[in-house]
Amino acid sequence: MTKLVQKSNDLKQRVITASVFAIIMLGLLAAGMYGQLLLLLIIGTFAAAEYLIMTGLSKIFAYCIPLIMILLISSATSHSSFQHINILIFLSLSISAFAIVSMKIDSWRTLHSKIGFFYAFGAFALPISLLMSFLVKNYQNSNFLIFIIILLIWSNDSFAYFSGRALGSKKLAPTISPNKTVEGFIGGGILTLLLSLFMSLFFSTPWSQLLIMAAVVWLFGSIGDLVQSSIKRYFKVKDSGTLLPGHGGFWDRFDSFIFVLIFILSFQIYII
């Protein structure tokens, strides 16, 4: 009986937190460019801070450093005269590659304790900052970009969960995230791709672009989730933080979102 009551209370807490945060997030998304920039700043600062706290940095520095980095980088890259955007994108992609490889190489994973600041710069501050500057320069044509990315990511997570529950038998990454299955990964991806085609009926973004974004979310969003699980396992923590009761921390909720940003930005900048 006690366990049932606890589960009921936990579910209630999750629903309340999700409802309140969803209202705040939708409000900021609907508030225009400055509301969206503020949302990105909040997500990037708090998620990076949670990671830095894991590495042993004091809370005041863990929150101040990402905030300053994001503000400085986004301000600098928002100017049309900035000439080093390619270097920053390459650096962030390199950090993402390191994170992927470190899931399989234990000696690389231990580097998080030594180069946490550099990882926070490349994996959190850079993608968030570059997206902020991209919005400033292209908001008229990208005003729904954040909403589309978040919708695709959360849809992929939901589809993967239900596909895994219904069909799952083969573990996707048993040593990193035992509950994820190959069937869930495949089912989530296929349904997300189909959803992107349906979304083209409601957004001005061409269906081909939405389909590619959905594919990026499917692959790299799933990898980003595994990367975060791997890092948390290394630091022996269940949740990245406690700021979202019932859900953990900001990094727990936006790990995939942050990880896919640099890949979607690369697509937006170099291909479209």
- pLDDT tens for 34-43 read 999 999 999 9
The pLDDT confidence band at residue 135, using thresholds 50, 70 and 90, is very high
Residue 31 CA neighbour count, 13 Å, CB half: 12
Residue among 266, 268, 265 nearest 209 (CA): 268
Calpha distance 226→182 (Å, rounded): 13
Mean pLDDT score, 139-156: 92
pLDDT band at 132 (very low <50, low <70, confident <90, very high): very high
- Single-letter amino acid, residue 224: G
> Beta partners for 171?
181
Buried b / exposed e along 57-94 (16+ C-beta atoms within 10 A): beeeebbebbbebbeebbeebbeeeeeeeeebbebbbe
| pLDDT of 122 above 90 | yes
pTM: 0.92
pLDDT score for 111? 80
Residues 6+ positions from 224 with CB-CB distance below 8 Å: 255, 256, 257, 258, 259, 260
